[in-house]
């Protein structure tokens, strides 16, 4: 029997999220679930979403659900009296809905083996994986698909190609790899000043402690949901509950709040107001070959982190990078950045990310060395 997550009101006294700016600009798309019959030696995967022609031409927004700020009881620069705490609890977490709903109960929650988890980030990456996998499957005989992905530090597009006899599991992993690279570019772009809300820089949330791990967890759960015999949303609801249990999720909002407090003035500061980039004192930009959670030190406990590895090869060992090109035609603002300038390119791809991340890591070390 499928276990659904229960929704209930929090009993803690901590201030809920009052942040007035919502970054979900994408309307919820209508979709239906259809059964696909797998022939020959193809692996039986889940029921991919059947999308309309309009939905194929309009991929999900890069940010589907609202972003969470790392930290608790943060103040807004324009309204200092308001305190922001994007904390949720296991009792608030609701069923998954493709492209989001108010019932999901998103926010940040602490787990003893996976650190802080941003459920909005996690669900976004799962949905992007589902979208891309469905798009690939429904174009399988064609052997390629090209998507224009809007503007984020420049004009983005992805061109995916595959052989018609490529195994369905490899195609699923391909969708996951592309999704993960899209999420990494979002972190790179916001580090260098891109934002969705005019005059509101997002540097304060770039490469936040929980971002990379939450993103890869979402990709992983999305792929698992698409392997399930359950409909996608139902599978995600079940798998998310199981993953949080596996990661030893805390039971209350107060425990997540306490985990934040244990890292205050070490990983983040309450001395500055949103959207100041000085709120985060530490950043996590190690995105390849996988993700490692940052755990709050606990006296007397020896807890093993649950590390994640990105699937980046087909089952025969061929790099998944060979099957697509995620291309960003950089805008003037990014071309002016020192570490981008040194690439001597106006157009970059996912193959440039490792070099960029190494330079960002050096920038971070210099910026936060004091």
pLDDT, tens digit, 9 for 90 and up, residues 262-277: 999 999 999 998 888 8
**pLDDT for residue 205:** 83
Q: Which tokens in the block code for residue 337? A: 């950045």
**pLDDT for residue 314:** 96
| Greatest Cα pair distance in the chain | 63
- Residue 131 within a domain: yes
**Given a cut of 50, is residue 301 above it in pLDDT?**
yes
- Of 60-69, 142-151, 195-204, 264-273, minimum mean pLDDT range: 195-204
**pLDDT for residue 52:** 62
**Given a cut of 50, is residue 21 above it in pLDDT?**
no
**Given a cut of 80, is residue 15 above it in pLDDT?**
no
- Residue 11 within a domain: no
- Residue 67 within a domain: yes
- Residue 13 within a domain: no
Closest CA to 202 of 216, 186, 218, 213: 186
Instruction: Evaluate whether 2 touches 240 at the Cβ level (below 8 Å).
Output: no
Instruction: Evaluate whether 307 touches 246 at the Cβ level (below 8 Å).
Output: no
**Given a cut of 90, is residue 245 above it in pLDDT?**
yes
DSSP-assigned letter for residue 203: G
Residues in the chain: 370
Q: What is the pTM of this model?
A: 0.85
Residue in the structure block whose two tokens are 């798998």: 239
Q: Which tokens in the block code for residue 291? A: 């993700």
Q: What are the φ/ψ torsions at residue 352 (nearest 5 degrees)?
A: -95, -10
Residue with the bigger pLDDT between 108 and 65: it is: 108
**Given a cut of 80, is residue 12 above it in pLDDT?**
no
Q: Range of 131's domain? A: 32-367
**Given a cut of 70, is residue 23 above it in pLDDT?**
no
Confidence bin at 22 (pLDDT 50/70/90): very low
Q: How many other C-beta atoms are found inside a 10 Å radius of the C-beta of residue 88?
A: 25
- Residue 135 within a domain: yes
- Name 302's Cβ contacts closer than 8 Å, sequence gap at least 6: none
What is the strand order of the sheet 273-274 is part of?
83-84, 74-76, 273-274
Q: Could you give the C-alpha distances from 185 to 134, 189, 205, 225, 322, in angstroms and in order?
A: 22, 6, 14, 24, 18
Q: What is the mean pLDDT of residues 6-17?
A: 36
Beta bridge partners of 328: 156, 348
- Residue 1 within a domain: no
Q: How many domains does the chain have?
A: 1
CA distance 70 to 256: 11
- Residue 266 within a domain: yes
Closest CA to 177 of 243, 145, 208, 133: 133
**Between vectors from CA 367 to CA 65 and to CA 212, what angle results, nearest 5°?**
30
**pLDDT for residue 215:** 98
**pLDDT for residue 45:** 53
CA distance 130 to 127: 5
Closest CA to 65 of 154, 131, 132, 125: 125
Share of the chain above pLDDT 90, in %: 66
Q: Which tokens in the block code for residue 85? A: 């705490």
- Residue 105 within a domain: yes
């Amino acid at each position: 029997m499928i276990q659904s997550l229960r929704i209930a009101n929090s009993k803690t006294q901590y201030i809920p999220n009052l942040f007035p700016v919502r970054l979900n600009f994408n309307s919820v798309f209508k979709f239906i679930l259809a059964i696909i019959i797998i022939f020959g030696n193809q692996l039986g995967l889940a029921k991919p979403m059947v999308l309309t022609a309009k939905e194929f031409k309009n991929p999900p927004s890069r940010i589907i659900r609202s972003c969470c700020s790392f930290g608790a009881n943060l103040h807004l620069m324009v309204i200092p009296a308001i305190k922001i705490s994007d904390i949720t609890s296991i009792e608030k977490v609701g069923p998954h809905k493709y492209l989001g709903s108010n019932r999901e109960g998103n926010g940040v929650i602490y787990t003893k083996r996976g650190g802080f988890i941003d459920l909005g980030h996690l669900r976004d990456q799962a949905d992007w994986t589902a979208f891309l996998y469905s798009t690939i499957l429904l174009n399988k005989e064609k052997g390629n698909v090209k998507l224009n992905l809007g503007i984020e530090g420049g004009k983005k597009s992805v061109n995916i190609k595959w052989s018609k006899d490529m195994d369905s599991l490899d195609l699923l992993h391909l969708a996951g790899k592309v999704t993960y690279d899209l999420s990494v570019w979002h972190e790179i772009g916001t580090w260098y000043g891109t934002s969705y809300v005019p005059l509101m820089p997002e540097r304060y949330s770039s490469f936040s402690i929980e971002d990379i791990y939450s993103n890869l967890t979402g990709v992983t759960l999305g792929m698992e949901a698409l392997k399930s015999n359950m409909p996608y949303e139902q599978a995600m609801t079940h798998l998310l509950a199981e993953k949080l249990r596996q990661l030893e999720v805390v039971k209350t909002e107060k425990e997540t709040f306490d985990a934040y407090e244990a890292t205050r003035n070490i990983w983040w500061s309450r001395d500055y107001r949103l959207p100041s980039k000085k709120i985060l004192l530490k950043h996590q930009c190690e995105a390849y070959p996988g993700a490692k959670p940052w755990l709050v030190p606990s006296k007397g406990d020896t807890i093993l982190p649950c590390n994640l590895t990105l699937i980046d090869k087909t089952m025969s060992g061929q790099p998944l990078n060979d099957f697509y090109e995620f291309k960003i035609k950089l805008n003037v603002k990014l071309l002016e950045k020192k570490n981008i300038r040194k690439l001597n390119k106006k157009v970059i791809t996912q193959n440039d990310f490792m070099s960029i991340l190494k330079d960002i890591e050096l920038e971070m070390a210099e910026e936060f060395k004091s």
